[in-house]
Every structure is written in C-alpha cells, then in structure tokens.
C-alpha cells in the first residue's frame, strides 16, 4: 500500500470518527433537552407526600373495586404490554434487516472494487474504509438486540403477573391457560412455549447470535486485511483473520447469554411457585 493510499485511509478514518462523535453528541443533547421539557406531575416524591398527608378510609369507594372493573383494568394493561412487545419485535426485525442490507451492499461494493483494482492497494484501502462502518452498524445492532431480549423478559413477566391476577379472579380458568402465570424463571420459559430444556439451541437460533457471527466475520476480515497490509503474507493473514473470527464468535455468544441472564435476574418475582405454595398452605 502506497503512501497516498495510507494518507487517504487515515484522512477518511479521522473524518468518519469525528462526524460519528459529533452526531452522537448532538443526538444525546437533543434527546436530553426534549426530556427535560416534560414537567412531572405524578413523581414518586409527590405521590409519597400525598399518601402521607391523606389516607383514604377502608370504606372508600375507590378501595372497593368491582371484579368486572378489575378485569377491565387488567385487560387494558395486558393489551398495552402486547403492543409494547409488538413494537420491540418490529424494532428488532427492522434493525436486523438494516444491518443485513448494509453488509450485502458492502460485499457488492467490495466485489466491484476488487474487479476494478484487481485486489490491489486501492481495494485494501476501500475495504478498510467500508468494513469498519458495517462492523459499527453490526455492533450497534447486536447491542440493541440484547436490550430487546431483556425488554421482552420484562414484558413477559408483566403479562404473567396479569394472568396470575386473572386466575385470582377466576381460579377455575387455570386448565385453559397454555402460557405461564408465574413471574419466576420457569414461568417465563413456559410462556415462550415448549422446549424449555433446549435453551442452548434457542441461543444458537437467536437473531443476536446471527448478528454476532457476522460481526465476528467482519472483524476478522478487517484484522486480516490490516495484517496483510503490514506484510505478514496472505496465508498468515488468513489464519489471523480466522482466529479472530472464532474467538469473537465464542466471546460474543457467551456475552449475549450472560447479559440476557443478568437482565432476567434483575426481575424480582412476586408470584413465584414457592410463594404461591406458602400462601396455599398458610
């Protein structure tokens, strides 16, 4: 790679980094500014103060809610959680589709440049410009997918609690529920459906795992190109790239599993099986 290509690559990388940092900073400031314009009317501190000032008597009409109204309130909350889960899945699918589109466009562009430059210095410089961009999109997608998975656990936990409340109103309906009505770990996986014992295969089939593998391949390609540009030779560069890809696949999949499990453990079960057994025997 000539001095001109190296300088062009450096200039392009610096400009890209500066623009990305500026856009992220502007985005954060604009969102924070918009959020601060919201005037809280029902903050936790205000709610606590009101509760301390006036306690409603037990005979208050608001304390005696009919079962029909309770069921209606629970159903409304249930539909809200379903809508939130639908939005989460739509965001996941759209983000994954955008990432795959970027990767596809990058591969096509690299093929065209390779044909024009015959895999010369221009191809290496172009590849080292576009591959990190695709990798950045992939890393952002990977993080968003893990967050969406954790959000899904929270939404499912809320729906399981609502089913528990339904069964408190009508205990005879329990045989007709195919999903879980406990908010512990087993109850959450019951809601996901059968095959609770094959969580490893589910992890392999996750969209985040697919994105992690593609990210590892992109990172391996970047490292391999850098090693080849440094004069290590094609075979050694290929070995280095393959090694980096393998290590990153294992690391990213394990990180995904650990982050999801940690996010799930943050949920404090209120209606676990042990709690229900104690209530029944007590």
d(C-alpha 52, C-alpha 82), whole Å: 35
**28 Rama class: left (phi>0) / alpha (psi -120 to 50) / beta:** alpha
Write down the mean pLDDT value for the chain: 83
Q: Is the confidence at residue 197, as pLDDT, over 80?
A: no
Q: Is residue 22 part of a domain?
A: no
Q: Is residue 235 part of a domain?
A: yes
User: Tens of pLDDT along 27-59?
Assistant: 888 888 888 888 887 777 655 555 555 554 454
Q: Is the confidence at residue 2, as pLDDT, over 80?
A: no
Please give the model's pTM, rounded to 2 decimal places. Answer: 0.79
User: Tens of pLDDT along 157-182?
Assistant: 999 999 999 999 988 888 888 888 88
Question: pLDDT confidence of 64, banded at 50, 70, 90?
Answer: confident
- Please say whether the dihedral angle defined by the alpha carbons of residues 174, 168, 184 and 159, taken in this order, is positive or negative: positive
Rounded to an integer, the average pLDDT of 87-97 is 92
Q: Is residue 221 part of a domain?
A: yes
Q: Is residue 54 part of a domain?
A: no
pLDDT of 280 reads 52
**What residue has token string 């959000």?**
151
Question: pLDDT confidence of 6, banded at 50, 70, 90?
Answer: low
Q: Is residue 181 part of a domain?
A: yes
d(C-alpha 153, C-alpha 263), whole Å: 8
Please tell me the least confidently modeled range out of 16-30, 95-109, 236-250: 16-30
Rounded to an integer, the average pLDDT of 10-34 is 84
Q: Is residue 239 part of a domain?
A: yes
Please tell me the least confidently modeled range out of 96-100, 118-122, 167-171: 118-122
pLDDT of 275 reads 55
Q: Is residue 257 part of a domain?
A: yes
pLDDT of 265 reads 83
d(C-alpha 74, C-alpha 77), whole Å: 5
Domain membership of residue 202 as a residue range: 67-268
Question: pLDDT confidence of 98, banded at 50, 70, 90?
Answer: very high
- Helices 3-36, 121-169: axis angle to 10 degrees equals 30
| Token reading at 71 | 């069921």
Question: pLDDT confidence of 202, banded at 50, 70, 90?
Answer: confident
Q: Is residue 43 part of a domain?
A: no
Higher pLDDT, 193 or 163: 163
pLDDT of 42 reads 79
Q: How many domains, the chain?
A: 1
pLDDT of 4 reads 63
d(C-alpha 20, C-alpha 18), whole Å: 5
């Amino acid at each position: 790679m000539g001095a001109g290509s190296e300088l062009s690559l450096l200039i392009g990388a610096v400009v890209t980094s500066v623009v990305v940092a500026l856009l992220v900073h502007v985005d954060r400031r604009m969102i924070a500014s918009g959020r601060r314009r919201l005037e809280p009317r029902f903050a936790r501190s205000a709610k606590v103060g009101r509760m301390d000032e006036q306690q409603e008597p037990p005979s208050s009409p608001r304390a005696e809610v009919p079962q029909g109204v309770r069921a209606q309130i629970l159903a409304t909350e249930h539909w809200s959680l379903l809508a939130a889960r639908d939005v989460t899945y739509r965001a996941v699918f759209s983000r994954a589709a955008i990432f795959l589109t970027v990767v596809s466009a990058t591969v096509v562009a690299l093929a065209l440049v390779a044909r024009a430059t015959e895999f010369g210095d221009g191809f290496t410089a172009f590849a080292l410009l576009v591959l990190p961009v695709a990798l950045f999109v992939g890393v952002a997608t990977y993080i968003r997918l893990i967050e969406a998975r954790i959000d899904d656990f929270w939404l499912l936990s809320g729906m399981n609690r609502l089913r528990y409340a339904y069964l408190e109103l009508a205990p005879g309906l329990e045989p007709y529920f195919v999903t879980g009505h406990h908010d512990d770990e087993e109850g959450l996986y019951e809601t996901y459906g059968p095959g609770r014992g094959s969580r490893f295969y589910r992890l392999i089939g996750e969209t985040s795992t697919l994105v992690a593998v593609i990210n590892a391949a992109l990172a391996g390609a970047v490292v391999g190109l850098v090693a080849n540009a440094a004069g290590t030779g094609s075979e050694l560069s290929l070995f280095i790239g393959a090694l980096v890809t393998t290590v990153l696949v294992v690391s990213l999949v394990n990180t995904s599993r650990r982050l999801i499990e940690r996010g799930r453990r943050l949920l404090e079960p209120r209606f676990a099986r042990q709690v229900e057994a104690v209530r029944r025997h007590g």
